[in-house]
């Protein structure tokens, strides 16, 4: 039996990636949990995601977190901005 999949979106209209739905949903939840407390750089999002999933995830957490971060940005759920010379991401209220 094949796993359900989702084609992610890209904020610049580029081609998204085809991800297993269960992995997408896991990383979506984790990325949003990480951003629920404060804005973060991409590196901080990846680090937070890896800490929360430590050993409980099959595959590259960083790669999936990047794909999901871009998808959430394309869907208007999170936004990027510049603060202090750094690009940060936050949940759109």
Q: For residue 93, is pLDDT > 70?
A: yes
Domains and CATH numbers, the chain: 5-91 (1.10.10.10)
Give the pLDDT mean for 5-30.
97
How confident is the model at residue 48, as a pLDDT? 97
Inter-CA distances, 59 with 4, 53, 68, 84, Å: 17, 11, 14, 33
Task: Evaluate if pTM is beyond 0.85.
Answer: yes
Q: Specify the residue for token string 């603060």.
A: 83
Give the pLDDT mean for 59-82.
97
Tens-digit pLDDT profile for residues 22-40: 999 999 999 999 999 999 9
């Amino acid at each position: 039996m094949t796993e359900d999949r989702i084609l992610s979106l890209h904020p610049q209209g580029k081609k998204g990636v085809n991800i297993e739905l269960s992995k997408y949903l896991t990383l979506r939840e984790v990325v949003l949990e990480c951003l629920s407390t404060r804005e973060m750089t991409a590196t901080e999002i990846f680090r937070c995601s890896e800490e929360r999933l430590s050993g409980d995830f099959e595959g590259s957490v960083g790669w999936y977190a990047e794909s999901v971060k871009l998808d959430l940005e394309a869907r208007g759920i999170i936004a990027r901005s510049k603060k202090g010379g750094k690009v940060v991401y936050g949940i759109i209220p």
